[in-house]
Amino acid sequence: MKALIFAAGLGTRLKPYTDTIPKALVPVGGKPLLYHVAMKLKAAGFDELVINVHHFPDSIMDYVHEEKDFGMKVSFSDERDFLRETGGGILYARKMLEGAPFLVHNVDILSDLDIGWFISQAEPDAVANILVSDRETQRYLLFDENMRMVGWTNVATGEVRTPFTGLDPGKCRRLAFSGVHLISDRIFTIFDEDGWEGKFSIMDFYIKECAKRIIHGILPDGLKLMDVGKVETLKDAGAFISTIK
């Protein structure tokens, strides 16, 4: 099984740490974030990793080789020329990912998710199955009663984005995206058919395409999850990682 780890980000919310190292190598509990995610994927049965890189790319590559590629087959999607965001990053790694469904995992997400369970809950006809959680945030994905994504909202501003005319957000399930997706490789054909190219967000793709394609949400009970993408959470991440092992 293949997984793509998003490790290319600038990590601006983790400054000043990321002034000298990439976000993927910021230590938590004595090990880099990348190590924790890679080991979680390996334990779940993944044997091939694609890691996209942009910020301090050589540091990430050197670290992975020092770790003997975590005992897996590792490829790098090198975006040092320019950062393509999440959707563009998936598209750019196309040749490494085509052929079967693949998992995408943000490098700054730590959780107790049972990845095998997550995969078992996937809707087979969906273009993407996305991990969601019932937690408080400002930005939510909107789902119907069958957990099909129908839009997005920012509750702080009242903004709603949806391809469905007249959608009432108050009648939707409101859940937070959690940085893990299981994606069908049919997505590459859709990128071609609908003109997605270059730099774009995968969330923009989901919001625009959810009227035509099934984007399915999976909500585990009692999920423990931490986004370690900012300094305020980094100080608590070491204690958190010890509770999910």
DSSP 157-179: TTEEE-SSTT--GGGSEEEEEEE
Number of C-beta neighbours around residue 178 at 10 A: 23
Handedness of CA 17, 240, 228, 105 (dihedral sign): positive
pLDDT band at 114 (very low <50, low <70, confident <90, very high): very high
The one-character DSSP state at 21 is: S
What are the residue ranges of helices labelled H in the chain?
A: 33-43, 57-66, 85-92, 94-97, 115-120, 187-194, 202-209, 231-243
The confidence score (pLDDT) of residue 234 equals 86
Per-residue pLDDT at 41 exceeds 90: yes
**Which pTM was predicted?**
0.95
Q: Which of 67, 35, 51 is nearest to 3 (CA)?
A: 51
Domain span including residue 164: 2-243
Q: Is 156 exposed, middle or buried (0-12, 13-18, 19+ CB in 10 A)?
A: exposed
CATH classification at residue 174: 3.90.550.10
The confidence score (pLDDT) of residue 148 equals 98
Overall domain count for the chain: 1
Give the list of residues 6+ apart from residue 103 with CB closer than 8 angstroms, or none: 1, 2, 3, 4, 41, 46, 115, 119, 180, 181, 182, 183
- Per-residue pLDDT of 176-223, as tens digits, reads 999 999 999 999 999 999 999 999 999 999 999 999 999 999 999 999
Is the peptide bond preceding residue 16 cis, with omega within 30 degrees of 0? yes
Per-residue pLDDT at 232 exceeds 90: no
